[in-house]
Chains A and B, each alone.
With several copies, the nearest count.
Chain A
Amino acid sequence: MENNLNSYFDKDSGSYKLLVRLQEVRKYGLLIAFVAVCLALSLTTPRFLTIQNLMIIVTQVSINALLAFGVTFVIITGGIDLSIGSMVAVTGVVAATFAHPDEYPVIVPVAVGLLAGLLFGAFNGFVVTRSKVPPFIVTLGTMTIGRGLALILSKGRPVSNLSDSFNFIGGGKILGIPTLIITLIVTFIACTVVLRKTVLGRYMYAVGGNEQAARASGIELSTVKMIVYTLCGGLAALAGILLTSRITTGQPNAGAGFELDAIAAAIIGGTSTSGGTGTMTGTLLGALLIGVISNGLDLLNVTSYYQQVVMGIIIIGAVVLDSVNQIKN
């Protein structure tokens, strides 16, 4: 018995290593799919594997990835946020309104935009925790509300004529690297740390994994959920501000349908809609996969009708490949 137990604890034992490897394999499955797609593209078009093109892909992916990070937090706790696309629009319009040249310093539109996103997210969290309404409905409601707000605030017209310093945020380069990529990397690291290294992150998994057990362990469910939705709002605001800056306009209809892309990235990355599992690395990989496919199809000049078909097939295919590698149950 004792010996037996000790052998289980022996970190050098074959079975232990195997187990750890099997738990990790999920990521590898996706990684394999990702590498396969990249390889296929490198072989079919020489333009794919150039530093410049890879940089462009990451730039294009970054907005979706930021949103996907936010929604990963939410999904891990067992929730969902459909309003992220609308938050992108609201925060973008709000930021743009304060970003005209020679009005306010650039910090103002950024701060106001972020605040708007945090408030919007907090409102989602408030309704989800206070009412017994499923998050799907709450955020479907606020998605509609948010879209309406963005249109009201902008009177249905793009808010343009933004200051150069504001347009730098999402459109500039620092040492040759696009600001979007820098923001993406910094945010990715921050989100990973929150999820893996903090008490809050642990609580997210616990709440999503078994709400009752989390509660019985003294975790305040509503606090965790509030924080998570607020965080998601904040990240959506960041995405909204960057998008607005990149296209140098605050658009009331920006971000429509972004929620699906972001959720797709998270789920392709291994986050389960039933909550309790998911990693930021997976989500990033999911977002990159979508970005690479879309870039590749453009490079190969696939007709737009067929692009959609191919995109759909590859997404399903990648996740199939992923789950074949996965341990059963």
Chain B
Amino acid sequence: NQSTTSETSKNGDGKKLVIGATMLSMQNEFIVNVHDEMAKKAEADGIDLITVDAERSALKQVEQVESFIAQHVDAIIMNPCEVEASSPAVAKALAAKIPIINVNSETSTKPSAFVGSDDVESARIAMKFIAEKLGGKGTIVMMHGYMGQAAQIKREQGAREILKQYPNIKLIAHQTAEWDRAKAMSLMENWIQSYGSQINAVFAQNDEMGLGAAKALADAGLKDKVVVVSIDAIPDALQAVQKGTLDATVFQNAQQQGSKAIETAEKIIKGQPYEKETLIPFQLVTKANLSQFMK
């Protein structure tokens, strides 16, 4: 079969390993970071990394994996768009006997290996921080990502899990701002009109929206009274935490996810023992521990 012949050929004449990677969206800063780490690691190990952008479309992702299979790459790294919808890609790769590694998030069909973290957990961490900060009592609003996308669903799930434990925290409004800073700003402005000083905290499902909400609150002179927490720990968000405009963000380790993904792929190709599941924990970032995350 194809993958083994290519393996022998490369082992024989030292031909470079080829890994195909399909990323959720190369317009998302965190994903770009993961990818850059992958590229760095691949370069260091002398691997050819072919990257394609699924532009958040599971269909496109499935097609891209098909294309990788047709090209007989040695391994596939997939940053899935969807839990279910990206699953056929995994099945297809496995059927073609090409190892496939999921990075960052999961699919329902089990891949050869998984490197990443569980999005539900990130939201739990963020919401728990809010709950504690409010002393288990208050009113909050939540900003969703693009509705129906895996990250949105999971982050909503995590947040609601925690909210159940705090019956005195009331979610008075939740709405999508489509991961977008400008849209989040407008949404927050409208909420301020509606609820004014009623709002005690904002949970935004990503930093972009968190930053937009923080800006709107600051413009309205309410920032001191409202807790804003979001997820991803992009550089802007870290800056904002330092300035105090953002109360906390949740750090996801792009560096580890990226390099571990390549590492695992290499191990599988070379037939070495490997971790079936590498879970990289989230970390809450506040002013207190900020220094260890600032580059």
Direct contact between A and B judged by beta carbons closer than 8 A: yes
B66-A247 in contact (CB<8A): no
> Whole-angstrom distance from the CB of A144 to the nearest CB of chain B?
11
A residues 229-263 touching B (CB-CB < 8 Å) = 243, 246-249, 251-254, 256
User: How many angstroms between the C-alpha atoms of A52 and B172 in the bound complex?
Assistant: 22
- Is there a chain B Cβ closer than 8 Å to A9's Cβ? no
**Which residue of chain A has the shortest Cβ distance to B152 in the bound complex?**
A156
B182-A254 in contact (CB<8A): yes
- Is there a chain A Cβ closer than 8 Å to B64's Cβ? yes
B32-A247 in contact (CB<8A): no
- Is there a chain A Cβ closer than 8 Å to B7's Cβ? no
User: For A52, what are the chain B residues with a Cβ–Cβ distance below 8 Å?
Assistant: 70, 193
User: For B219, what are the chain A residues with a Cβ–Cβ distance below 8 Å?
Assistant: 171
**Which residue of chain A has the shortest Cβ distance to B26 in the bound complex?**
A304
A247-B215 in contact (CB<8A): yes
- Is there a chain B Cβ closer than 8 Å to A295's Cβ? yes
User: How many angstroms between the C-alpha atoms of A49 and B85 in the bound complex?
Assistant: 29
A301-B88 in contact (CB<8A): no
B62-A247 in contact (CB<8A): yes
B193-A299 in contact (CB<8A): yes
- Is there a chain A Cβ closer than 8 Å to B189's Cβ? yes
B residues 193-219 touching A (CB-CB < 8 Å) = 193-194, 208, 211-212, 215, 219
**One of B140-148, B162-170, B277-285, B287-295 at the interface:** B140-148
B194-A253 in contact (CB<8A): no
- What count of chain A residues pass the 8 Å CB interface test? 38
User: How many angstroms between the C-alpha atoms of A254 and B181 in the bound complex?
Assistant: 9
A56-B190 in contact (CB<8A): yes
User: For A10, what are the chain B residues with a Cβ–Cβ distance below 8 Å?
Assistant: none
> Whole-angstrom distance from the CB of A66 to the nearest CB of chain B?
13
> Whole-angstrom distance from the CB of B38 to the nearest CB of chain A?
13
User: For A59, what are the chain B residues with a Cβ–Cβ distance below 8 Å?
Assistant: 63, 66, 189
User: For B64, what are the chain A residues with a Cβ–Cβ distance below 8 Å?
Assistant: 298
User: For B118, what are the chain A residues with a Cβ–Cβ distance below 8 Å?
Assistant: none
A304-B53 in contact (CB<8A): yes
**Which residue of chain B has the shortest Cβ distance to A159 in the bound complex?**
B84
User: How many angstroms between the C-alpha atoms of A56 and B92 in the bound complex?
Assistant: 13
**Which residue of chain A has the shortest Cβ distance to B53 in the bound complex?**
A304
B153-A156 in contact (CB<8A): yes
User: For A256, what are the chain B residues with a Cβ–Cβ distance below 8 Å?
Assistant: 57
A56-B147 in contact (CB<8A): no
- Is there a chain A Cβ closer than 8 Å to B130's Cβ? no
User: How many angstroms between the C-alpha atoms of A49 and B187 in the bound complex?
Assistant: 17
B149-A304 in contact (CB<8A): no
User: How many angstroms between the C-alpha atoms of A251 and B209 in the bound complex?
Assistant: 13
**Which residue of chain B has the shortest Cβ distance to A55 in the bound complex?**
B70
With A52-B70, A247-B185, A254-B182 already in contact, the answer to whether A301 and B194 are too (CB < 8 A) is: yes
User: How many angstroms between the C-alpha atoms of A47 and B29 in the bound complex?
Assistant: 32
B67-A56 in contact (CB<8A): yes
User: How many angstroms between the C-alpha atoms of A2 and B51 in the bound complex?
Assistant: 68
Instruction: Point out the residue from B83, B85, B146, B189 that lies within 8 Å of A56, measured CB to CB.
Output: B189
User: For A45, what are the chain B residues with a Cβ–Cβ distance below 8 Å?
Assistant: 194
Instruction: Point out the residue from B71, B185, B208 that lies within 8 Å of A299, measured CB to CB.
Output: B71
B67-A160 in contact (CB<8A): no
**Which residue of chain A has the shortest Cβ distance to B172 in the bound complex?**
A301
B239-A160 in contact (CB<8A): yes
User: For A187, what are the chain B residues with a Cβ–Cβ distance below 8 Å?
Assistant: none
- Is there a chain A Cβ closer than 8 Å to B79's Cβ? no
- Is there a chain A Cβ closer than 8 Å to B8's Cβ? no
Which residue, A52, A53, A246, A248, has most C-beta atoms of chain B within 10 A? A248
> Whole-angstrom distance from the CB of A154 to the nearest CB of chain B?
7
Which residue, B26, B83, B84, B234, has most C-beta atoms of chain A within 10 A? B84
- Is there a chain A Cβ closer than 8 Å to B74's Cβ? no
User: For B191, what are the chain A residues with a Cβ–Cβ distance below 8 Å?
Assistant: 298
User: For A248, what are the chain B residues with a Cβ–Cβ distance below 8 Å?
Assistant: 84-85, 87-88, 215
Instruction: Point out the residue from A63, A154, A247, A253 that lies within 8 Å of B146, measured CB to CB.
Output: A253
User: How many angstroms between the C-alpha atoms of A233 and B174 in the bound complex?
Assistant: 32
- Is there a chain A Cβ closer than 8 Å to B59's Cβ? yes
User: For A303, what are the chain B residues with a Cβ–Cβ distance below 8 Å?
Assistant: 51
**Which residue of chain A has the shortest Cβ distance to B185 in the bound complex?**
A247
Q: Chain B residues in contact with chain A, CB under 8 A?
A: 26-27, 29, 32, 50-53, 57-59, 62-64, 66-67, 70-71, 82-88, 108, 144, 146-149, 152-153, 172-176, 180-182, 185-187, 189-191, 193-194, 208, 211-212, 215, 219, 234-236, 239
Pairs A-B, 7 closest by C-beta atoms: A304-B53, A160-B84, A298-B190, A249-B84, A253-B148, A247-B85, A249-B85
Q: Chain A residues in contact with chain B, CB under 8 A?
A: 45, 47, 50, 52-53, 56, 59-60, 63, 150-151, 154-158, 160-161, 171, 243, 246-249, 251-254, 256, 294-295, 298-299, 301, 303-305, 307
Cross-chain pairs A/B with CB under 8 angstroms, 28 sampled: A50-B193, A60-B63, A150-B148, A158-B82, A158-B83, A246-B62, A246-B185, A247-B62, A247-B82, A247-B87, A247-B182, A247-B185, A247-B212, A248-B84, A248-B85, A251-B82, A251-B85, A251-B148, A254-B57, A254-B58, A294-B186, A298-B191, A301-B175, A303-B51, A304-B26, A304-B147, A304-B176, A307-B53
